[in-house]
């Protein structure tokens, strides 16, 4: 989709659809809408008086051949109550407008800014909404519906500088998020650990990032016993991907942000096999790793002041003849012993080595993202990402970035009492809780053990990384949650 900047007055913009926003309030025909009402000979006040135009969030009012406008259609999109309208609403309304038009065979639009949101940030949010909304998960459909994609969108009504800045930033962030989504959507036969490493290499090469990929021999040399224990049940070898961004004037001793992402390219549960029903969804168990790769892709372009290293342990979790068995004891790279009570609690095993390796590389701050537990879905459903953190100030900064990006994230506890629940009878730690609930928290406590004294945040994205149904603003499938939040955090670091 081509994104252009339009400087003509809105009456002169010839496009398939001119889109603008309506707030839900009594005097809604004000500012840009008052001008448009005048230009269209009172069409908007007429619609308002009839009760058809309420401004409720995601309400669409389509006017064909609007008088006084060069555009073929005028689409009015509700943003809801002004006091409740944040970037989250603007992003969704913009994406939904594109999908609304796409469903009606429209291929070009111009988005007209409202006077309430004419800064670079709002232009960026609109661009993000459009690019995220335009993505489809149809690459394996043999009947190519190329016409499904939008041809072009123009930003209109923003000061030129704000439009330029917002467009550039939105293309980077949404491009990164869509890169993550495209990886997560891949079925496991099209994205094995080796193929994921190849995709990461291609991305890093194109972006100018340095990358190292460890094969199974190197992983064994490094004594990543926890990662190997999961990988041993599969004929597909594991990979450990390390992508590094170094700012131009990085000094020794400066902070280094470590991003560790779970990449289980398929999670059968291993010998603790999952039920067949819904197991096909476990191809998205690499969403945490794909998130971190997407973030790195964006950072290569945005060039934050902080050094950032992504560590992505990648493996399948399979019940093969050599698979680990419940009760087995494994040694993680850090030297700690782990009793594997349940082979389906594999994410925390591979992250244990991921976190330890990130520390070994000198990361001073750690963030992991993982589709880690079904229990987080019980706690927060598919609305909020679960956020666990060892240091309040660091966690607060992440939550602030999440708010700024319109991504819902909710803090969860990590009290020491929960550590009791993962005490093992025969090893240093066991990989599941002792059956008294709190499954997402005991999983986090396990990770905390391997982050040791380094400030650490864990994002459990099991409930939020995948959309079972399409939304007005998004195709179904991978959501790309947390990509923009982590980019924002790195940029403010």
- Pick the binder of ligand BES from 16, 134, 346, 353 (CB under 6 A): 346
Q: How far is the CB of 460 from Mn ion (least distance, A)?
A: 13
Residues assigned a catalytic role = 274, 348
Q: Which is nearer to ligand BES, 77 or 409 (CB)?
A: 409
Q: How far is the CB of 192 from ligand BES (least distance, A)?
A: 17
Query: Rounded to the nearest 5°, which phi and psi values hold at 27?
Result: -90, 60
Task: Extract the tokens encoding 72.
Answer: 């073929």
- Note whether 347 binds ligand BES by CB under 6 A: yes
Neighbours of 269 (CB within 10 A): 18
- Note whether 128 binds Zn ion by CB under 5 A: no
Residue nearest to ligand BES (CB): 374
Interaction residues for ligand BES, span 423-452 (CB under 6 A): 432, 439
Q: Which is nearer to ligand BES, 347 or 389 (CB)?
A: 347
- The span from the CA of 93 to the CA of 433, in Å, is 42
Q: Which is nearer to Zn ion, 267 or 460 (CB)?
A: 267
Nearest to 263 by CA among 179, 343, 192: 192
Residue nearest to Mn ion (CB): 344
Q: How far is the CB of 472 from Mn ion (least distance, A)?
A: 32
Neighbours of 152 (CB within 10 A): 14
Number of H helices, E strands in the chain: 14, 20
Q: How far is the CB of 115 from ligand BES (least distance, A)?
A: 43
Q: How far is the CB of 347 from ligand BES (least distance, A)?
A: 4
Interaction residues for Zn ion, span 247-266 (CB under 5 A): 264
- Note whether 347 binds Zn ion by CB under 5 A: yes
Q: How far is CA 167 from each of CA 122, 126, 245, rounded to the nearest angstrom?
A: 10, 9, 23
Q: Residue 91 binds what, of Mn ion, Zn ion, ligand BES, none (CB under 5 to 8 Å, by partner type)? A: none
Q: Which is nearer to ligand BES, 30 or 328 (CB)?
A: 328
Q: Residue 375 binds what, of Mn ion, ligand BES, Zn ion, none (CB under 5 to 8 Å, by partner type)? A: ligand BES
- The span from the CA of 88 to the CA of 58, in Å, is 12
Q: Are 461 and 371 in contact (CB under 8 A)?
A: yes
Q: Which is nearer to ligand BES, 47 or 345 (CB)?
A: 345
CA dihedral 393, 397, 402, 403 (to 10 degrees): 90
Q: How far is CA 226 from each of CA 5, 74, 234, 338, 353, rounded to the nearest angstrom?
A: 51, 58, 14, 8, 6
Q: How far is CA 314 from each of CA 233, 311, 477, 479, rounded to the nearest angstrom?
A: 14, 10, 21, 20
Residues in contact with ligand BES, shown as a per-residue x/- string from 260 to 279 under the rule CB under 6 A: -------x------------
Q: Which is nearer to Mn ion, 186 or 267 (CB)?
A: 267
Q: How far is the CB of 356 from ligand BES (least distance, A)?
A: 19
Q: Are 177 and 465 in contact (CB under 8 A)?
A: no
Nearest to 493 by CA among 256, 292, 176: 256
Q: Which is nearer to Mn ion, 192 or 401 (CB)?
A: 192
List residues binding Mn ion (CB under 5 A): 267, 344, 346
Q: Are 177 and 134 in contact (CB under 8 A)?
A: no
- The span from the CA of 69 to the CA of 111, in Å, is 14
Sort 447 into a burial class: Cβ within 10 Å, 0-12 / 13-18 / 19+.
Answer: buried
**CB within 8 Å of 478: residues ≥ 6 apart:** 137, 180, 181, 182, 183, 184, 185, 284, 287, 290, 465, 466, 467
Q: How far is the CB of 220 from Mn ion (least distance, A)?
A: 23
Q: How far is the CB of 236 from Zn ion (least distance, A)?
A: 15
Q: Which stretch binds ligand BES (CB under 6 A): 120-128, 173-181, 301-309, 344-352?
A: 344-352
Q: Residue 432 binds what, of ligand BES, Zn ion, Mn ion, none (CB under 5 to 8 Å, by partner type)? A: ligand BES
Q: Residue 488 binds what, of Zn ion, Mn ion, ligand BES, none (CB under 5 to 8 Å, by partner type)? A: none
Q: Which is nearer to ligand BES, 102 or 262 (CB)?
A: 262
Q: Which stretch binds ligand BES (CB under 6 A): 48-56, 154-162, 305-313, 338-346?
A: 338-346
- Note whether 289 binds ligand BES by CB under 6 A: no
User: Which contiguous run of DSSP H or E holds residue 227?
Assistant: helix 225-231
- Pick the binder of Zn ion from 48, 216, 267, 460 (CB under 5 A): 267
Q: Is the dihedral of CA 234, 235, 236, 238 positive or negative?
A: positive
Nearest to 109 by CA among 163, 154, 76: 154
Sort 42 into a burial class: Cβ within 10 Å, 0-12 / 13-18 / 19+.
Answer: middle
Task: Extract the tokens encoding 365.
Answer: 């701050």
- Pick the binder of Zn ion from 16, 134, 285, 339 (CB under 5 A): 285
Q: Which stretch binds ligand BES (CB under 6 A): 79-87, 242-250, 368-376, 418-426?
A: 368-376
Interaction residues for Zn ion, span 306-335 (CB under 5 A): none
Q: Which stretch binds ligand BES (CB under 6 A): 198-206, 357-365, 369-377, 481-489?
A: 369-377
Tokens 């007429």, located at residue: 46
- Residues at the interface with Zn ion (CB under 5 A): 264, 267, 285, 347
- Residues at the interface with ligand BES (CB under 6 A): 267, 285, 342, 344-347, 371-375, 432, 439, 462
């Amino acid at each position: 989709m081509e994104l252009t900047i339009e400087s003509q007055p809105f009456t002169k913009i010839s496009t398939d659809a001119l889109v603008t926003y309506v707030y839900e309030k009594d005097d809604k025909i004000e500012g840009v809408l008052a001008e448009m009402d005048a230009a269209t000979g009172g069409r908007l006040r007429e619609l308002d008086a009839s009760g058809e135009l309420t401004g409720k969030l995601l309400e669409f009012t389509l006017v064909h051949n609007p008088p006084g406008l060069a555009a073929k259609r005028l689409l009015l999109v509700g943003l809801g109550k002004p006091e409740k309208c944040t970037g989250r609403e603007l992003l969704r309304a913009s994406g939904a407008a594109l999908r609304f038009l796409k469903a009606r065979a429209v291929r070009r639009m111009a988005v007209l800014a409202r006077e309430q949101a004419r800064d670079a940030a709002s232009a960026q949010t609109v661009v993000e909404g459009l690019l995220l909304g335009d993505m489809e998960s149809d690459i394996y459909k043999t009947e190519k519906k190329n016409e499904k994609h939008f041809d072009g969108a123009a930003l209109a009504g923003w000061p030129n500088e704000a439009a330029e800045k917002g467009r550039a930033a939105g293309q980077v962030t949404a491009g990164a998020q869509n890169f993550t989504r495209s990886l997560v959507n891949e079925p496991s036969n099209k994205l094995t650990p080796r193929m994921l490493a190849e995709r990461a290499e291609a991305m890093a090469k194109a972006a100018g990032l340095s990358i190292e990929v460890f094969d199974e021999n190197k992983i064994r040399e490094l004594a990543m016993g926890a990662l190997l224990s999961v990988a041993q049940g599969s004929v597909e070898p594991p990979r450990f991907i390390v992508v590094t961004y170094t700012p131009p004037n990085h000094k020794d001793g400066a902070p280094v942000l470590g991003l560790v992402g779970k990449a289980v390219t398929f999670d059968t549960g291993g010998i603790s096999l999952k039920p067949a029903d819904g197991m096909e969804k476990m191809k998205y168990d690499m969403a945490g790793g794909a998130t971190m790769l997407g973030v790195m892709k964006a950072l290569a372009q945005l060039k934050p002041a902080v050094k950032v290293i992504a560590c992505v342990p990648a493996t399948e979790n399979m019940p093969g003849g050599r698979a680990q068995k419940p009760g087995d004891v494994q040694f993680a790279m850090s030297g700690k012993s782990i009793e594997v009570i349940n082979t389906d609690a594999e994410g925390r095993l591979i992250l244990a080595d991921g976190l330890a390796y990130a520390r070994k590389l000198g990361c001073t701050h750690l963030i992991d993202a993982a589709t880690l537990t079904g229990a987080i879905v019980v706690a927060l459903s598919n609305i909020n990402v679960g956020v666990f953190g060892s240091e309040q100030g660091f966690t607060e900064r992440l939550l602030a970035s999440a708010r700024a990006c319109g991504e819902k994230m909710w803090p969860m506890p990590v009290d020491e009492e929960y550590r009791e629940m993962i005490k093992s009878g025969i090893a240093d730690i066991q990989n599941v809780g002792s059956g008294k609930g709190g499954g997402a928290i005991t999983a986090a406590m396990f990770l905390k053990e391997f982050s040791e004294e380094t400030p650490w945040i864990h994002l459990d994205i099991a409930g939020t990384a995948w959309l079972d149904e399409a939304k007005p603003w998004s195709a179904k499938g991978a959501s790309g949650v947390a990509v923009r939040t982590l980019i924002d955090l790195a940029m403010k670091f």
